[in-house]
Amino acid sequence: MSRPVTLFTGQWADLGFEALCAKVESFGYDGLEIACWGDHMDVRRAATEPKYAEERKATLAKHGLKCWALGAHLSGQCVGDLWDPRLDGFAPAEHKGRPEKIREWAIQEMKYTARAAKNMGCKTVTGFMGSPVWKYFYSFPQTSDEMIAEAFEEIRRLWTPIFDEFDSCGVKFALEVHPTEIAFDYYTAQRLLEVFERRPTLGFNFDPSHLVWQGLKPHLFVRDFGDRIYHVHMKDAAVTLDGRSGILGSHIAFGDTRRGWNFRSLGHGDVDFENIVRELNAIGYQGPLSVEWEDSGMEREYGAREALAFVRKVDFAPSNVAFDAAMQK
């Protein structure tokens, strides 16, 4: 049986939840990965008002959709980041410019998210953790080993009480390995698991688009972290270095063709999805394949439909028999 294909609602938060469900039903998706912003999911209400969660589930059912995961990227970012004015847009207006209040709000919001996921019948929350050291990623002025170690320890301290709540709810957290996160590539992901002593609560929302432009081979991430792949984003990216553009983006907005890389709709970039599917089959992953549609150069409804068709086509099942079995006596 093929894996369910869902649409992450984060890039559709301008639409109301009911309207988006109707649209996604018409596209043919199996369900949603519901973002915890816009009006798609109020985690405090979902955590504390049983009627709210039941109404959300009823809306999904009305449109033949299911939900396997909630996406808590914005509040999660506010937990671990060093404050700058960009975080003000993720937190309530009354906390604007108040770093400690934003962090307090974010920690409580993540705890509510665990409870909301439980009430929605979801076993996974995807999201970000932030990073107190990302601004130092280039080692000049010199970034000491002690600064990096202290940053990982700070993340452990901040997130341990949150993960305690996740455990009490029977929900796992799937970090999207991503620039600006404490874990942004292979070795930082490995280090993060070690810092948390491989606590089962923490795993990964595998998104190859953030790895391919860094020069990684995303399917190897699946192979080596197979027991920690709790959720999968289907997203593509294209590297377009031309002798002028740089891999760091040159402070040019996404979608601008002068950039050294851009996110692309599925099948229009450099991600090797066939090898990814083979590795997902090898680890026995049967969770959703969630389309996170981001392509500034393509109309999004066309892209969402095309992306669904792409995933349906590439998501082949593993063989249940050795190809040469018929040759045996």
What's the chain look like in SS3?
CCCCEEEEHHHHCCCCHHHHHHHHHHHCCCEEEEECCCCCCCHHHHHHCHHHHHHHHHHHHHCCCEEEEEEEHHHHHHHHCCCCHHHHHCCCHHHCCCHHHHHHHHHHHHHHHHHHHHHHCCCEEEECCCCCCHHHCCCCCCCCHHHHHHHHHHHHHHHHHHHHHHHHHCCEEEECCCCCCCCCCHHHHHHHHHHCCCCCCEEEEECCHHHHCCCCCHHHHHHHCHHHEEEEEECEEEECCCCCCCCCCCCCCCCCCCCCEEEECCCCCCCCHHHHHHHHHHHCCCCCEEECCCCCCCCHHHHHHHHHHHHHHHCCCCCCCCCCHHHCC
Is the pLDDT confidence value at 202 over 80? yes
Quick: pLDDT tens for 174-187.
999 999 999 999 99
Model confidence at 320, pLDDT cuts 50, 70, 90, reads confident
Number of domains observed in the structure of the chain:
1
Quick: pLDDT tens for 271-294.
999 999 999 999 999 999 999 999
Q: Give the length of the chain.
A: 329
Is the pLDDT confidence value at 1 over 60? no
The whole domain housing 67 covers: 5-327
d(CA 218, CA 312): 20
Q: What is the CATH number of the domain that holds 30?
A: 3.20.20.150
Quick: pLDDT tens for 30-59.
999 999 999 999 999 999 999 999 999 999
* Mean pLDDT across 309-323: 91
If we measure between CA atoms, which residue out of 119, 117, 29 comes closest to residue 76?
117
* Mean pLDDT across 9-29: 98
* Mean pLDDT across 55-73: 98
